[in-house]
Amino acid sequence: MKVALFGAGRIGKVHAASIKMDPRSELVAVTDVMQEAAEALAQDHGIEARGADDILADTSIDAILIASSTNTHSDLIEAGVKAGKAIFCEKPIDLSLERALQVSATAANHDKPMMMGFNRRFDPNFSALKAALDAGEIGSSELLSVTSYDPAPPPVSYIKVSGGLYRDMMIHDFDMCSFLFGMPTTVTAHGSCLVDPEIGAAGDIDTAVVVLSYADGRIATIRNSRRAPYGYDQRVEVLGSGGALAADNELENTVVKSTSAGVTSAKPVYFFLERYMRAFSIEWSAFVDAVVDGKAVPATIQDGVNALALAEAANRSLAEGRPVEVAPFLSEA
Amino acid sequence: MKVALFGAGRIGKVHAASIKMDPRSELVAVTDVMQEAAEALAQDHGIEARGADDILADTSIDAILIASSTNTHSDLIEAGVKAGKAIFCEKPIDLSLERALQVSATAANHDKPMMMGFNRRFDPNFSALKAALDAGEIGSSELLSVTSYDPAPPPVSYIKVSGGLYRDMMIHDFDMCSFLFGMPTTVTAHGSCLVDPEIGAAGDIDTAVVVLSYADGRIATIRNSRRAPYGYDQRVEVLGSGGALAADNELENTVVKSTSAGVTSAKPVYFFLERYMRAFSIEWSAFVDAVVDGKAVPATIQDGVNALALAEAANRSLAEGRPVEVAPFLSEA
Amino acid sequence: MKVALFGAGRIGKVHAASIKMDPRSELVAVTDVMQEAAEALAQDHGIEARGADDILADTSIDAILIASSTNTHSDLIEAGVKAGKAIFCEKPIDLSLERALQVSATAANHDKPMMMGFNRRFDPNFSALKAALDAGEIGSSELLSVTSYDPAPPPVSYIKVSGGLYRDMMIHDFDMCSFLFGMPTTVTAHGSCLVDPEIGAAGDIDTAVVVLSYADGRIATIRNSRRAPYGYDQRVEVLGSGGALAADNELENTVVKSTSAGVTSAKPVYFFLERYMRAFSIEWSAFVDAVVDGKAVPATIQDGVNALALAEAANRSLAEGRPVEVAPFLSEA
Amino acid sequence: MKVALFGAGRIGKVHAASIKMDPRSELVAVTDVMQEAAEALAQDHGIEARGADDILADTSIDAILIASSTNTHSDLIEAGVKAGKAIFCEKPIDLSLERALQVSATAANHDKPMMMGFNRRFDPNFSALKAALDAGEIGSSELLSVTSYDPAPPPVSYIKVSGGLYRDMMIHDFDMCSFLFGMPTTVTAHGSCLVDPEIGAAGDIDTAVVVLSYADGRIATIRNSRRAPYGYDQRVEVLGSGGALAADNELENTVVKSTSAGVTSAKPVYFFLERYMRAFSIEWSAFVDAVVDGKAVPATIQDGVNALALAEAANRSLAEGRPVEVAPFLSEA
């Protein structure tokens, strides 16, 4: 299966490595608006840097992997559909839910696999938790808690174009809730600017708690912060009728030091590249499974739309200071 | 310091043992509407079972410990104030916030120590977390999460007279938030009946998430369930600008068994008597410190009023499906 | 059951508290060569300080608890046997194995319970491990490892009269091995002076590893140090055909602090009084069970002799630099 | 840097993957006595399967990686030295210490890097422990304990040609002790056959405890078992004057399940490929560092000789039932 990569930045490189590690997929071309970045990645992999149109027109290329900037995702998905490619796209589909709904409609009849890059679904800890949940190991689920703190905030320049914390950061946690509990009916959002006043000045928040209410009474809680001085904090807890499941952080190593000052363990691995490197690789193989073996895509474009709808609902809830229904957001377009 | 005990039930016995363990306090009398219970406890401790009025009139008695049923607390506090006794009262002051505010006003000018039995403040884990927080070990605090699950629901007959989950169960967690973060400005309540439909039929919930918002942007989350099959789950987490603090459960023992089925530890200790036995004893000594040494009371009647006000605000929030301001509840009377 | 206490020092006070906590036993008298110590403890408990002979002659006293200095144990056990008392004696029986064997012979026909104070058998962690082992939860046992480090060495003046590390400190670990694995056939001892050269100058070691070999091929390892800067380190591990069991330390509290410097937990509780307070209380109740209910004594005088024999064998092994057979030590007298 | 691989079996494949992952090294040829295995690996990597002599004669090849069966190591090292190649060799050098000493002498004057594959030195947990130890974080070291249990014994057919537990399995732990504590003066070995009587019938043991004594009084303990039903158990503990360091197992995932049956974590990763995959990769990069950048080789042929000498001393100690001096083994040849 021949793959072309759109986007030669940090996440593009991660995906290029994953493509290389799966013997069934071969990276054959890369494109980037930054020509130098494309050339550098091409050289590292012994492939060609080409133009986007050229790639889309090349019928020998089976799949495109969209890892370019967010504002290009929608157009590239549509172009990929038109060109008959299997499509793997980094989240989010778009910062605009309306546009995402359009793209989703376009992709609905696509006869090739179309997968969204919700990498956390493939984290071995979260997928093991999900498997235990699905196997009924704690009976029927009741409460879900997702903790997701970044080690440090991004530059304010990034914050300004990010679409805001709910769309940029909590989108992963919305998807984690959908992954584990399905779609909620109501979103109640809370948020503050406690980490960096410049983030507040840019109109965003850096600290947030969102509660998702489900039709059957289940409740999910998401906690976000742009800063955890001890490293990336990524945990999930579920309480069920028969017990509880918790997925904890991965630590840098297993060494424990005991002195008169206390008993000290290593910190969680620093950020998403360290924590989710294996997840990115497993994720890619799941896409290859879909393309090569016809397996179901484990993170669909509808999942992408759902996560965006929850982010939009959270934005409205925060703005209006009240719980907000989700359903209208999904039929918005 | 001579002490009389009001209430010879389960919690009364716990307190009687704590009184015995502090060499500075002596249990000299007990009373209970169930005369047999009073006699039995009196016999165990080699003391007298007496009438409530008789005890209040006895000037040799320095302090009364109110551990009788909730509906007697308000009257007994007032009687204790009138009789000039130091007063230790189990939470809550009253199921009615209005009545609690009256009692609090009455007690305001009392020149003897008056303390509420918020035992969790004295749990060595939570007090160590509080000490670290106060010492600035994680900088300024931002997010608080309190998890509090009972091992199994009480009988529905109890639920019916309990005042509801927020007043009966979450009241402890409201106080924990006050203890660690002070009083919030807004309460947003969520709740469901997932554990036992009879609890729902009785008009109560058994599963709840409440979010407390603070004037300065801090956010606290409380999760409650009436059922955790693995035992009493009592945890607190705080994220601050410099790190995080977490107080975890105490386990039955430290034994870990590793087999082909997995690595298994002991469960959390079963319920509040096991988990908080030390806390009850430390709590009592703090009251003796106040009476004998004039130290500040570490859990005041105002703390009792505050917790009730948060429970009332949560009730209204749940009923009306919207965030509710706390301030009006505190000036209600 | 009326009890007289011999020895009003630190461990005597611990036992006095345990006697008080079991409603079936009553402390009625105390004696100590330090008259002041006896008077002080007597006053605290509202009892009499009396002479040793007077106590032994008092037929209303059912049991004696020997917590005086080691060099008095043998004589007091013999006197207790003669006086027809139930006897609880702190370890060791004697620093001389020969004398211990005599005393054991004397006590053999005693018709009252006679129990040795091997408190660690009653630690809830070690007894839970033992219960799991006996229940076959890890199949047949193969390897045992006992780690036992004190937080800090005692004064050299104490070392000089202690009988040496194997008899004074490792005696508890020898008993733990007997408790879990029974009696070994061979002892191979290693030891060094690494903590304090004055301990070496006094002819003792402060760091030791001893290997016990069993007739059926099982192997136990004991590690001792007089110094662990992070506190009392008391752990046991067993590998069996079906898995492993490990009993870990108890920590001061469950608080975990995560900062950029790492993830820090509380230290193990500081020393034996903190770690084994519950064990002392459970131990005493087991003795009361034996006296009052006729239950089997869970730590016999033979256990005391066995532990001493292993210590003696270790001394010889260290001196001669070779493995030493245990059997001859048990038939020495 | 061009590399040829000797041995296309399980460990050969692991090394081939490591070579691929380091951009500075390129696998150009493979050889194996099993021609089919060589062809298969060659095909996977798009390289040639060639004859051993052909490879050695090819001056364009910079380094050879010896991952063939143990009985070929010595001859290949000598041939590699003669051919002027940098050499990476899997442990052990040889089952015969005498032969290993010869080879070591031959390699002494080799002007290219020669490294032994003691992969555990590169495990991130053990290397972090070593770094903390070297940085003096626990003061001067006193006691070392190495636990090393395999999940299940190999076939008895393998046992028969393995050289015995000390040379085949504990060799890694001897090297870990050398890595952390240097070379001891005395070895005292204990061993039993508890796992499988056929292993005993084949003249070997499957359960072992070895104590290493150091000139300065430090003591190391190694525990080995051929069977740990819960998976590969690989831990190291060091006690020092200022505290303790412990490196624990890596678990399959971080999920914890709490039910009425207990609190269950994942097992340790199953065996050495899972546990040490990262170590193999880091190890290879260290060799490339030595070849390309002239850095010191972190696991020398002398380390290989040392580990073998300790294994030989352990064999003699077990046979003679006494502590055995190490020095004579190192000057044997």
Compute the nearest-CA separation of A229 from chain C (Å): 5
Task: Work out the burial of residue D17: count CB atoms within 10 Å of its CB; fewer than 13 is exposed, 13-18 middle, 19 or more buried.
Answer: middle
pLDDT at position B315 is: 98
What is the nearest CA distance from D151 to chain B, expressed in angstroms? 10
Inter-chain residue contact D266 with A128, CB threshold 8 Å: yes
Please give the pLDDT value at position C332. 58
For residues B77 and B289, the answer to whether their CB atoms sit within 8 Å is no
Q: Do the beta carbons of residue C307 and residue C178 sit within 8 Å?
A: yes
pLDDT tens profile A105-125: 999 989 999 999 999 999 999
- Whole-number mean pLDDT of chain D? 96
Q: Are A195 and A207 in contact (CB under 8 A)?
A: yes
Closest by Cα among A196, A172, A159 to A310: A172
Chain A residues whose C-beta is within 8 A of a chain C C-beta are 228-230, 233, 251, 258-268
For residues B27 and B5, give the distance between their C-alpha atoms in angstroms, rounded to a whole number: 7
- Interchain pair A262, C263: CB under 8 A: no
State how far residue C69 is from chain B, nearest Cα, in angstroms. 28
Inter-chain residue contact C190 with D188, CB threshold 8 Å: yes
The 10s digit of each residue's pLDDT in D181-216 is 999 999 999 999 999 999 999 999 999 999 999 999
Buried b (16+ CB within 10 A) or exposed e, B151-179: bebeeeeebeebbbbbbbbbbbbbbbbbb
Q: Tell me the mean pLDDT in the region B281-297.
A: 97
C-alpha closest to that of C299 among C144, C88, C150: C88
Tell if the CB–CB gap between C259 and B243 is shorter than 8 Å: yes
Give the model's pLDDT for residue A331. Answer: 82
Contact between residue D195 and residue D227 where contact means Cβ atoms under 8 Å apart: yes
The residue written with tokens 């290389």 in the block is: A20
Mutation pick from B190, B204, B212 vs chain A, by most beta carbons of A within 10 Å, is: B190
The pLDDT-based confidence of B333 (bands split at 50, 70, 90) is very low
Measure the CA–CA gap between A228 and A240, rounded to whole angstroms. 28
Check whether C333 has a pLDDT greater than 50: no
Neighbours of chain B (3+ CB pairs under 8 A): A, C, D
Nearest to C256 by CA among A268, A2, B212: A268
CA distance D90 to D215: 30
Band (D331; pLDDT cuts 50, 70, 90): confident
Is residue B267 within 8 A of residue B230, CB to CB? The reply is: yes
Q: Are the beta carbons of C223 and C231 closer than 8 angstroms?
A: no
Pick among D147, D245, D254 to test the A interface (most A CBs inside 10 A): D254
- Section C153-176 average pLDDT: 96
CB contact under 8 A, A233 and B244: yes
H/E stretch holding C236 reads strand C233-240
Q: Which of B186, B192, B218 to mutate to test the interface with A (most CBs of A within 10 A)?
A: B192
- For range A231-244, the mean pLDDT: 98
Instruction: Check CB contact under 8 Å for B194 and A225.
Output: no
Indicate the pLDDT class of residue B331, thresholds 50, 70 and 90. Answer: confident
Q: Please list every residue in chain D whose beta carbon sits closer than 8 Å to the beta carbon of residue B258.
A: 228-230, 233, 267-268
Q: Which two tokens stand for residue B94?
A: 């009253």
User: Cα distance from C187 to chain D (closest Cα, Å)?
Assistant: 11
Provide the percentage of residues in chain A whose pLDDT is more than 90.
97
Domains of chain D and CATH, by start: 2-118 (3.40.50.720), 121-278+305-330 (3.30.360.10)
C140: nearest CA in chain D? D194
Q: A209 and B218 in contact by Cβ < 8 A?
A: no
Q: Which of A248, A253, A260 sits opposite D256 (nearest CB)?
A: A248
State whether C128 and B255 contact (CB < 8 Å): yes
- Cβ neighbours of B188 in A, within 8 Å: 188, 190, 211
- Contact by Cβ (8 Å): A80, A56: yes
Q: Is residue A209 within 8 Å of residue A198, measured between CB atoms?
A: no
Per the listing, tokens 């997701």 go with A148
Mutate to test the interface with D, among B250, B258, B265, B267 (most CBs of D within 10 A): B258
Nearest chain B CA: its distance from C269 CA (Å): 13
* Whether B262 and D230 lie within 8 Å, measured CB to CB: yes
Mean pLDDT, residues B118-123: 97
Per the listing, tokens 């009993």 go with C247
Distance from CA of A227 to the nearest CA of C (A): 11
The predicted pLDDT at position A332 comes to 58
| Closest residue, chain C, to A254 (C-alpha) | C263
DSSP assigned state of A164: -
| Angle of CA points D15, D16, D22, to nearest 5° | 90
Closest approach of chain A CAs to the CA of B268, in angstroms?
A: 12
Contact assignment for C264 to A262 by CB distance below 8 Å? yes
pLDDT of C331 reads: 82
Distance between D283 CA and the closest CA of chain C, angstroms: 26
The nearest CA of chain C is from the CA of A231 a distance in Å of 7
**Which two three-digit tokens encode residue C237?**
């591990």
- Contacting residues of C for A267, CB less than 8 Å apart: 258, 260, 262-263
* Between D331 and D40, residue with greater pLDDT: D40
- Interface of D to B at Cβ within 8 Å reads 228-230, 233, 251, 258-268
Alpha carbons C139 and C151: distance in angstroms, whole number: 34
Instruction: Give dist(CA A62, CA D104) in Å, integer.
Output: 54
**Looking at the partner chain, which of B258, B259, B265 has a beta carbon nearest the beta carbon of D263?**
B265
Q: Which chains touch A (3 or more CB pairs under 8 A)?
A: B, C, D
Give burial (CB, 10 Å; 0-12/13-18/19+) of B320: exposed
C-beta atoms of B190 and A211 within 8 A: yes
Closest Cα of chain D to B251: distance in Å? 10
Burial class (CB in 10 A: 0-12, 13-18, 19+), A160: middle
* CB proximity list for A297: less than 8 A, separation 6 or greater: A113, A114, A115, A286, A287, A290
Residue labelled with tokens 């839970």: C128
Cα–Cα distance between B119 and B276 in angstroms, integer? 7
| Nearest CA-CA partner of B151 in B270, B265, B249 | B270
Residue-wise pLDDT for B213-236, tens only, equals 999 999 999 999 999 999 999 999
pLDDT confidence of residue C86:
98
Residue of C nearest to A264 (CA): C264
Question: Which chain C residues are closer than 8 Å to B264 by Cβ?
Answer: none
Residues of A within 8 A of B323 (CB-CB) are 321-322
What residues of chain D have any CB closer than 8 angstroms to a CB in chain C? 140, 142-143, 145, 149, 188, 190, 192-195, 207-209, 211, 213, 217-219, 221, 223, 225, 227-230, 233, 239, 241-244, 321-323
Nearest Cα residue in chain D from A257 = D245
Of B251, B262, B266, the CB nearest to D265: B262
The answer to whether D255 contacts A128, with C-beta atoms less than 8 Å apart, is: yes
Q: How distant is the Cα of B142 from the closest Cα of chain A, in angstroms? A: 7
Average pLDDT over residues C97-115: 95
- For residues D299 and D287, give the distance between their C-alpha atoms in angstroms, rounded to a whole number: 9
Q: Find the distance separating the first CA and the last CA of chain D, reported in whole Å.
A: 35
Mean pLDDT of D144-173: 96
Question: Rounded distance, CA D229 to CA C260, Å?
Answer: 37
- Minimum distance, in Å, between the CA of residue B235 and any CA atom of chain C: 10
C89 pLDDT above the threshold of 60: yes
Distance between CA C320 and CA C189 in Å, rounded? 10
Instruction: List the structure tokens of B290.
Output: 């106040």
Cα–Cα distance for residue pair A171/A174, rounded to 1 Å: 5
Task: State the ipTM, two decimals.
Answer: 0.95
Segment C59-63 mean pLDDT = 98
pLDDT of C174-230, one tens digit each?
999 999 999 999 999 999 999 999 999 999 999 999 999 999 999 999 999 999 999
Return the residue of B nearest to A217 by Cα: B192
Residue A169's pLDDT is 96
- Angstrom distance (rounded) from CA A164 to CA A274: 24
Q: In chain D, pLDDT over 70 holds for what percent of residues? A: 99
Q: How confident is the model at residue C295 (pLDDT cuts 50, 70, 90)?
A: very high
Strands D233-240 and A233-240: unpaired
Inter-chain touch B266–D262, beta carbons under 8 Å: yes
pLDDT given at position D333: 47
Q: What is the pLDDT of residues D274-309, one digit of tens each?
A: 999 999 999 999 999 999 999 999 999 999 999 999
CB neighbours (10 Å) of residue D111?
8
Average pLDDT over residues D95-115: 95
d(CA D219, CA D66): 34
Q: B257 and C132 in contact by Cβ < 8 A?
A: yes
A 10 A CB-CB count for C246 gives: 19
d(CA A162, CA A158): 6
Is C250:B254 a contact under the CB 8 Å cutoff?
yes
8 Å CB contact between A80 and A88: no
Is residue B332 pLDDT above 90, yes or no? no
Question: Measured between beta carbons, which residues in chain C are less than 8 angstroms from residue D143?
Answer: 207, 209, 223, 225
Give bridge partners of residue B29 from the DSSP assignment: B4, B48
Tens-digit pLDDT profile for residues D63-83: 999 999 999 999 999 999 999
Q: Minimal Cα distance from C20: which residue of B?
A: B21
Is residue A246 predicted with pLDDT exceeding 90? yes
* pLDDT value, residue D290: 97
Q: Judging by DSSP bridges, how do beta strands C141-149 and B255-259 pair with one another?
A: unpaired
Query: Mean pLDDT throughout B270-283?
Result: 94
Instruction: Determine the 3-state secondary structure of D83 from DSSP.
Output: helix
pLDDT the model gives residue D332: 58
CA A97 – CA A173 distance, rounded (Å): 17
Confirm if B239 and B162 have CB atoms less than 8 A apart. no
The residue to which tokens 């709590």 are assigned:
B283
